[in-house]
Structure 1
Amino acid sequence: MKKTAIAVASLAAAVTFGTMVSPTFANHVNSLFNTIDQADGGMKNAAVEGYVQEVNKKVTDKGITVIVKEVLADPTRIALIFDFVDKDGKRLDFYNPNTYDFYYDGRFTLTDNTGKDLNPLGDGWAQRKYGDYLLVEQDLYNMFDRAEKAPDGLTIGVNFSNIMDTEGSWKIDIPIDMKKAKAVAKTVEINKEYTSPQGIAIKLDNVMTVPSASLLTLETDWNEQRIKEYMKLIEEKGWNDAPEGSRKDMRLTPGELMQHYLTDYGLAYEILDEKGNLIAGRDDTMFETLNGIRKNEVDMTSKGEGKGENQGMVWWDGFAPFTGHEKVTFKLHSIYLKEPASFEAKIALDELNKQPVTVESSGSTFTFSKFNLKTTEEKEKIGRYEWRGKGGIIEFEVTLPKDIVYITDWKAKDETGKEYRLFMDNGAGEYTRGKDGRVKIKSALFIRDLVKQPKELTITYGIQEHQYRDVKWEVPIQLNK
């Protein structure tokens, strides 16, 4: 996803639509929000229900045409689909998958019917390749916490100033009628609270259902006991080493990095139908296959915003609409907390090149194998893993301790004491749960800037993520109130 800033409060339009965009798209089953594989369930529902508008308005400059194909809008989000074509009508390939760069410069504004800029900072505009098209989205739920607070009309200002290295001006204003989507929106107040044995307090505020989503709003925080225990640990370990006054650079100190890890926490929960079947689920573990409860999320899922001075957060979790159900049940599944670990493995690389080396430490059992030295800066695939830059690569398999689902804060040091940055490949790795419930990982470590094979490497990790299942909280939600 690419975030963009807004240069000005509003943009003059080269093309202005004469009518407001409203849900009248007759061919909704053929909508790009319904037929492209990358569409989430909420987009498909909004298209089928007729809350997507076919636009097909265009503006041309310097032989390049920008086309606004379709618009989806309700009180939780706005989404636009764009196409770019040359003077012969041939589609332009505007995205580089190797660098994740877009070959254009675009700015967007959002105003209400009075001309008020609803997003003066210009943040939150997310852009991604969507099939052969460009999808631009803006979430609205953190602007309007209730559907009725959304304006009856909005205008999206679009301004592209550079496309495919061609300077130009492509400006369009897109008025949107929100009244029909607001009319079918419904908010159910819940206001239930629970505190886990680990001291994580959770409040389930409400659920709002609109054409493209059922949106849960939650608040989370630490209770006083957990704050006291955390502060005691930081003091005992000396992790309160933040410098006073100005810094020489922006890098975190070792203690600040540990604080960053240890204040992080996550949730997993299920949404069950009347018969107890899973219809939706959030799971903050990095690897969704471990629990199998992550389901029917939409693009806005799990956006958090800090609240208060402690560890308070407000979360907005979006799922495909819970339509067709009179009652659902919110069931808390897990709490995730990062905790200190002390794994260490000393590996003689000559020995490793002859045969795998098994190390048991801190409850983990590692088998390291296949050391490779990458000597070029270019991206290169070694084995099943792909890396960019020079460095060493060590493949491994590990069985983690009971209830530990992830490990991080990796470090490496050679026999001379020189330290290296170390990264675990999360993309190409395999993550499974054995019959005993313990997580198994098959992956590789990349030792950044290693230019020759050392005699020995000491590899450590300092953080493990603990999954706590000793939580018991279910909340029935009557949707047809």
Structure 2
Amino acid sequence: MKCFMFNQWKLYANGELPPAASKGLEQHAVECPQCQIKLQEWVDHMLEEEFSTYPEVPVPDTFTDEVMRKLFEAAPARTARKRSSRTRRQRGWDIVKKTGLVVAGLTALVVTGTVVSPTFANYVNSLFQIEKDADNGMKNAVDKGFVQKLEQKVTDQGITFEAKEVMADSMRIAVIYDVYDQNGKQIKIGEDGHLLNAYLIDSTGKDWLEDDGPTLGGHGKYFIVEQPLNTIFESAEATPNMLTLKLEQTEIAGKKGKWSLEIPIDMKKAKEATKTVVFQDTAFHSPLGMEIELEKIEFSPSATRLMLETTLAKSAYVEVEREMEEVTLEGERSNITEKYKDPILSGNDIAYEITNEKGDVVAAWDNPFLDEGITKEKNVLRLMGAVGRSQGDYEMKWWHTFGPIQGEQKLKLQLKKIYEKKWASSKFDLAPAELNKRSATFKDETGSTFTFSAFSFESGSDNKPGVAVLTVEGTLGKDVVNTQSWDVKDENGQSHPVRLKTNSTRDKDGRVHVKGKLEIPRMEKRPKSLSVTYKEYAVEHPVNWEVPFEIK
């Protein structure tokens, strides 16, 4: 029986197939004996006709095998199982050897940036496997064939900006790039990353990042920039089939210029590779005043996205006051008090686990403000962008992202906790000069106890100013898991925002213990007195609700 795909080869040879279809055809040839026989006859004829006018250059009989041997040596060692399949695929490799010129023509199109199309081809030795900022989801996308080599570059002012690889699936696009001078020496731009302009344009010309600010590029051996799609498109289906990612720099190493690269990406394969589980009428009603409705979970090669919607009752909002500093056009400053409604519950401040049939936790979400010592989160991907979107006065949509969960399997989501935000009026009056001699201990209305034991100054570095530091330890009240919005005022009534840096642990009774410091930026001399307060804290409420589902 004639293979139904064989009629595609002429279109392939003439460059009339899109890159995704071309790549799929190449993989098909590796496995299809009928195409291998026909294709070998066709390629032999094509090569004979193409090169009949060229003088023959003698090469040893072992030339082709020697070249392929060196290619295999350059690739990572295969497992025993993969090596056992080489005999079965040997005929396919013979075809790949013969079609080298045809494949090279396709590669030239991809390298010049015509279209990047995620496929299921293996790409060995990817830079995503070694970059420090590449997470496990990106590395899994490499294994699934959703990373491609680019080698697009632009040079201005003697500086070259080169995009080396792109990863693209329905959750995100990431690009590894490099910046170097005319001598090939790498230029490092900022220790903690740098900003570059990013545009994400669909086939209609719409820029989906029009309202966003610059994108942050990190640095390991090379630079890596990531553009999440899960915060832009609410589903894989809603993602356009074609997107163009444009990256632009206007200043590098103090030199002004224009470095701009456009990477067109065919998203169809990425969308096809995303599995979706849709929930129907699956909601939890909390007596605290929040309804949590599961909408769907999507599974892509690089990430897993859970989408839920929360509806709050009017009783879940509390009127609070906050002080704000107002500055007039003449530069005059004054403090004003603003009243507003603030929710005590949130779809972000919940805890749940996703477990498999063995009971293993494959993913877990927890309150993002908890210290590492007490959080139960697992496999969470902190992708840039919003995690919640308002749907009205009382409704919000949320999405939580995890590393990839792969394969067909039965899973279960178990809601464990809901965290309630509360407001505090605690106030601790301190004499900094006395703290080094004698610590000061306070117990507040939440049942929490705090001990302040020292006041000191820590010198800064070249880029960071020094800070004043209060050493603090505490045991939080029953069911209290954290405290937020700390503030200090000196004897003159001058307010100083502070950063609380603590490590938290739990004792056998579940009480949370904190130990760390309060950092006070821009305080240059020791005050005579300090009034320390915090405005918010969180209380945990246990929940027992579960929903089974299946990836098919």
TM-score normalised by L of structure 1: 0.81
1:222-261 mapped onto 2 (5 Å cutoff) = 222-227=312-317, 230=318, 234=319, 239=321, 253-256=336-339, 259=341
Residue type at the aligned position of 2:181: D
CA distance in 2: counterparts of 1:240 and 1:63, whole angstroms: 52
| Conserved 8 A contact 1:106-1:159 | yes
Q: Residue 315 of structure 1: which of 379, 391, 398 is its match? A: 398
Instruction: Quote how far apart the aligned CAs of 1:357 are.
Output: 2.2
1:113-124 mapped onto 2 (5 Å cutoff) = 114-119=203-208, 121-123=210-212
* Residue 47 (structure 2) aligns with: none
* Residue 22 (structure 2) aligns with: none
Identity of aligned residues (%): 36
**Alpha-carbon distance change, 406 to 18 in structure 1, aligned in 2, over 3 angstroms:** closer
Residue type at the aligned position of 2:400: D
* Residue 327 (structure 1) aligns with: 410
Cα deviations by residue, 1:162-187 (Å, 9 ceiling, x for unpaired):
11111122222211122222222222
Q: Give the superposed CA RMSD.
A: 3.2
Higher normalized strand content (fraction of residues): 1
| Conserved 8 A contact 1:125-1:137 | no
Cα deviations by residue, 1:41-68 (Å, 9 ceiling, x for unpaired):
2111111111111112211121111110
Matched, 1:462 2:535: yes
Matched, 1:72 2:167: yes
* Residue 235 (structure 2) aligns with: 146
Instruction: Quote how far apart the aligned CAs of 1:301 are.
Output: 7.6
| Conserved 8 A contact 2:228-2:385 | no
Cα deviations by residue, 1:265-309 (Å, 9 ceiling, x for unpaired):
612211111122110111124235344521112243884233234
Cα deviations by residue, 1:396-425 (Å, 9 ceiling, x for unpaired):
1111111111112323344x4524314133
Q: Residue 176 of structure 1: which of 265, 268, 277 is its match? A: 265
Secondary structure of the corresponding residue to residue 349 of structure 2: strand
Matched, 1:388 2:465: yes
Residue type at the aligned position of 2:548: P
**Unpaired runs of at least 5, structure 1:** 1-14, 381-385
Secondary structure of the corresponding residue to residue 243 of structure 2: strand
Secondary structure of the corresponding residue to residue 544 of structure 2: coil
| Conserved 8 A contact 1:106-1:162 | no
Instruction: Quote how far apart the aligned CAs of 1:122 are.
Output: 4.6
Point out the more displaced range, 22-31 or 332-341. 22-31
| Conserved 8 A contact 1:304-1:313 | no
Secondary structure of the corresponding residue to residue 149 of structure 1: coil
Matched, 1:424 2:496: no
| Conserved 8 A contact 2:471-2:518 | yes
Residue type at the aligned position of 1:274: E
* Residue 351 (structure 1) aligns with: 434
Matched, 1:440 2:513: yes
**Alpha-carbon distance change, 270 to 128 in structure 1, aligned in 2, over 3 angstroms:** farther
**Alpha-carbon distance change, 333 to 84 in structure 1, aligned in 2, over 3 angstroms:** same
Cα deviations by residue, 1:122-153 (Å, 9 ceiling, x for unpaired):
52764231423222222223443332332322
Instruction: Quote how far apart the aligned CAs of 1:217 are.
Output: 0.9
Q: Residue 306 of structure 2: which of 194, 216, 224 is its match? A: 216
* Residue 451 (structure 2) aligns with: 367
* Residue 544 (structure 2) aligns with: 472
Higher normalized helix content (fraction of residues): 2
CA distance in 1: counterparts of 2:385 and 2:231, whole angstroms: 12
Cα deviations by residue, 1:367-395 (Å, 9 ceiling, x for unpaired):
21121256x7x549xxxxx9735x64211
Residue type at the aligned position of 1:174: I
Residue type at the aligned position of 1:338: K
Residue type at the aligned position of 2:220: G
Structure with max Cα Rg: 2
**Unpaired runs of at least 5, structure 2:** 1-109
* Residue 23 (structure 1) aligns with: 118
Instruction: Quote how far apart the aligned CAs of 1:25 are.
Output: 8.4
CA distance in 2: counterparts of 1:72 and 1:252, whole angstroms: 49
CA distance in 2: counterparts of 1:199 and 1:16, whole angstroms: 55
| Conserved 8 A contact 1:45-1:320 | no
* Residue 360 (structure 2) aligns with: 277
| Conserved 8 A contact 1:200-1:221 | yes
1:76-91 mapped onto 2 (5 Å cutoff) = 76-91=171-186
Residue type at the aligned position of 2:504: Y
| Conserved 8 A contact 2:133-2:224 | no
1:181-220 mapped onto 2 (5 Å cutoff) = 181-191=270-280, 192-220=282-310
Residue type at the aligned position of 1:79: A
Residue type at the aligned position of 1:62: Q
CA distance in 1: counterparts of 2:479 and 2:410, whole angstroms: 32
| Conserved 8 A contact 1:358-1:365 | yes
Matched, 1:62 2:157: yes
Residue type at the aligned position of 1:407: T
Instruction: Quote how far apart the aligned CAs of 1:24 are.
Output: 5.3
Q: Residue 410 of structure 1: which of 480, 483, 486 is its match? A: 486
**Alpha-carbon distance change, 445 to 131 in structure 1, aligned in 2, over 3 angstroms:** same
| Conserved 8 A contact 1:34-1:48 | no
Give the total of aligned pairs. Answer: 437
* Residue 419 (structure 2) aligns with: 336
TM-score normalised by L of structure 2: 0.71
Residue type at the aligned position of 2:474: V
* Residue 217 (structure 2) aligns with: 128
| Conserved 8 A contact 1:307-1:313 | yes
**Structure of higher RCO (CA pairs closer than 8 Å, 6+ residues apart):** 1
CA distance in 2: counterparts of 1:172 and 1:365, whole angstroms: 56
Instruction: Quote how far apart the aligned CAs of 1:436 are.
Output: 2.1
Q: Residue 453 of structure 1: which of 510, 519, 526 is its match? A: 526
| Conserved 8 A contact 2:391-2:397 | no
Instruction: Quote how far apart the aligned CAs of 1:447 are.
Output: 3.8
